[in-house]
Amino acid sequence: MGSSQSGGASRSAGATAALTLAAIGVVYGDIGTSPLYALKEVFAHGRVPLTPDNILGILSLVFWTLTVVVSLKYVVLILRADNNGEGGLIAMLALASQAVKDRPVLRRRLLLLGIFGTAIFFGDGVITPAISVLSAVEGLEVAAPALHRWVVPLTLVVLTALFAAQRFGTATVGRFFGPVTLLWFAVLALLGLPHILQNPAVLVALSPHHALNFVLDHPGVAFVALGATVLTVTGAEALYADLGHFGKRPIRMAWFTVAMPALVLNYFGQGAMLLAHPENVANPFYEMAPQWALFPLIGLATAATVIASQALITAAFSVSKQAMQLGYLPRLHIVHTSVKEAGQIYVPFVNWALFVGVTFAVVVFGSSSKLASAYGIAVTLDMTITTVMTFFVIRYAWKLPLALCVAATGAFFVVDLAFLAANAVKILDGGWFPLAIGGAMFLVMTTWKRGRALLAERVRDEAIELPMFIESLFVAPPQRVEGTAVFLSAEQGVTPFALLHNLKHNRVLHAQNLFVTVRHHERPWIGFDRRVELEPLGHDCWQVMLHFGFKNEPDVPEALKLLAGRGIELDEMQTSYFLSRDTVVPTLAGGMPLWREKLFASMHRNAAAAADFLSLPTNRIVELGTKIAI
């Protein structure tokens, strides 16, 4: 008995170790590449004078930023706020909106705030690959200054290869992410340790009083420094976003045993070197390395930044799909790149839109220093929004006392606001770029959501109630033909236009008729036991409601198989799927300004086919068109 228990324990330990290694590669790739540029940016352009006291103050600020923002806020508190095991801003948004569903005005405001945070994430998704890969390739300037003019072209080559490879999926190369990033963290520690040993006095910066003294003695300089210090925690949101992939324990273990120790050793190593050699401030990360190691280090840094970028691109695909299912983005063509993992997807439109944005950022900004000004605003906005959402979750969903909720999130909110304010002053220096991307995405997402609501409202106004129509239809029954007709309808209880057109033109009704409505919920997973609701309408007609979470794969034929044994037997070869393809006509008397209605109509026209999104068999589909004015 003891041996079987120990065998189970060792298997469990082995699984945890494997997940921890994978988490190092995916979760901490972004924050792990921050040492390439973060400390350099603090002292760039002489904004923070390079004095021993300032160096110790900045190191203390970096250490306590990592401790408060990452260790306490994300690892200890926010990882607890899972939505059926899932994390990320959309999962948090769903939790918060559910928690305040009896307060419609507050719920509407929280939804807008969460969607704005999701929109800003796409701005982050453009800047992360650009600044990460640029900062790695900039090591060439240290190794051989004559190679300066090749930095931007080589960066574009690496990024082009990265985005072109997305269509093949990450299953093949993904297994190397963990080991390569683990090697990267080991190198971070090994680079910093010798400099700390040469100047151990730098370790006094672990005391928070150095950070406090720096802030109190030089408030103006400290305010400027905060704007760059936040670069040390870029990627912290990934901790929460990847919760569903790895679970709390591996993410926490990877942070406390590998990522944080390596990051602290590297930052303190850079600080120790700057105390002894302040002339190395132009690129302290690469200046730490011996000359012989520079080119291998540049290669490893480039690999690490590609992995960090990959994790963010994958997250952008996942967030886009979730936003589609929650009704905030039009349907986009999705390619599944793995037969085993449903979560491994490739969204071509998102991939190439990101690529255009990243290329623009690299060419226009041209260096990691200039991009750093743009980076902080996106990161700090998302961090602040996450903190606000967390308050409503722990107050209204967990029912914790108000004083405890304010204490738990209030301190983090003050820290987030300080970082946000420090980055807000850099809007004209580049912060406008992610805000412009986020603003454009917010406009697209809210226009699509509002347009869909107007469309549904117009359909309801013009529709005939389904039960009443079925009864009237059988006063003089049409001819029945063999097989099953599945009529897809966005609104439950109304007669689909596809049925009306079918009766008008073909004058027949199938032996079995299912009126199916697909509903996506603000929760990640809905099990098969709650997938199907069935309501008989008589005359071998049924109304069917299919329920999916925003992480479920909306597969209608698979879900309809659950009707077997409930009086409905489906033969795949005898089943036809009828869809109505609506053409939206903008009007001046509509519910949105005409330009937004035209934007919605354009998105609606170019959205991917519902048949693909719902996994319908291509050879069994009948589409019938109709025009709807909004």
Residue 259 has pLDDT above 50, yes or no: yes
Rounded-to-integer distance, Cα 58 and Cα 226, Å: 9
In this predicted structure, what is the pLDDT of residue 627?
Answer: 74
User: Which 3 state secondary structure label does DSSP give 579?
Assistant: strand
How confident is residue 176, by pLDDT bands cut at 50, 70 and 90?
confident
pLDDT by residue (tens digit) across 336-368?
776 555 557 788 999 999 999 999 999 999 888
Token readout for 251 is 């993410």
Residues constituting the chain: 630
Residue closest to 515 by CA, chosen among 552, 553, 549, 464: 464
CA dihedral sign, ordered 417, 422, 425, 428: negative
Rounded-to-integer distance, Cα 94 and Cα 5, Å: 39
Rounded-to-integer distance, Cα 382 and Cα 91, Å: 14
Token readout for 161 is 């290869």
**Mean pLDDT (the chain, rounded):** 87
CA dihedral sign, ordered 363, 368, 374, 380: positive
User: Ramachandran region of residue 571, left (φ > 0), alpha (ψ -120 to 50) or beta?
Assistant: beta
Rounded-to-integer distance, Cα 115 and Cα 104, Å: 16
Q: Which residue has the higher pLDDT, 143 or 434?
A: 434
Rounded-to-integer distance, Cα 627 and Cα 583, Å: 5
**Which run of H or E residues covers position 521?**
strand 508-521
Domains of the chain, start order: 20-450 (1.20.1740.10), 464-629 (no CATH)
Residue 282 has pLDDT above 70, yes or no: yes
CA of residue 504 relative to chain centroid, distance: 46
Residue 6 has pLDDT above 70, yes or no: no
**Average pLDDT of 26-47?**
87
Token readout for 167 is 């269509």
Q: Which residue has the tokens 């209880």?
A: 493
In this predicted structure, what is the pLDDT of residue 25?
Answer: 85
* β-pairing verdict for 479-488 and 621-629: unpaired
Rounded-to-integer distance, Cα 605 and Cα 616, Å: 20
Type of residue found at 340 = K
In this predicted structure, what is the pLDDT of residue 48?
Answer: 86
pLDDT by residue (tens digit) across 531-543?
999 999 888 899 9
**Average pLDDT of 605-630?**
82
- Cα–Cα distance list, 243 to 20, 96, 120, 182, 521 (Å): 12, 17, 20, 19, 19
Q: Is 571 exposed, middle or buried (0-12, 13-18, 19+ CB in 10 A)?
A: exposed
57 and 214 in contact (C-beta within 8 Å)?
A: yes
**Average pLDDT of 16-28?**
85
- Residue 427's contacts (CB-CB under 8 Å, 6 or more residues apart) are 377, 435
Helices (H), 425-517: 432-462, 466-473, 497-506
Residue 383 has pLDDT above 50, yes or no: yes
In this predicted structure, what is the pLDDT of residue 18?
Answer: 83
pLDDT by residue (tens digit) across 262-273?
999 999 999 999
In this predicted structure, what is the pLDDT of residue 172?
Answer: 62
Rounded-to-integer distance, Cα 445 and Cα 423, Å: 25
- Residue 542's contacts (CB-CB under 8 Å, 6 or more residues apart) are 512, 513, 514, 515, 534, 535, 536, 568
pTM: 0.84
Share of the chain above pLDDT 90, in %: 41
pLDDT by residue (tens digit) across 187-245?
999 999 999 999 999 999 999 999 999 999 889 889 989 988 999 998 888 788 887 77
Q: Which residue has the higher pLDDT, 624 or 573?
A: 573
What is the DSSP secondary structure assignment for residue 83, as one 8-state letter? B
Query: Looking at 282-396, which runs of residues are DSSP E strands?
Result: 335-336, 345-346
In this predicted structure, what is the pLDDT of residue 500?
Answer: 86
Q: For residue 121, which phi and psi values (nearest 5 degrees)?
A: -55, -35
CA of residue 199 relative to chain centroid, distance: 41
Residue closest to 544 by CA, chosen among 580, 570, 524: 570
Rounded-to-integer distance, Cα 599 and Cα 604, Å: 9
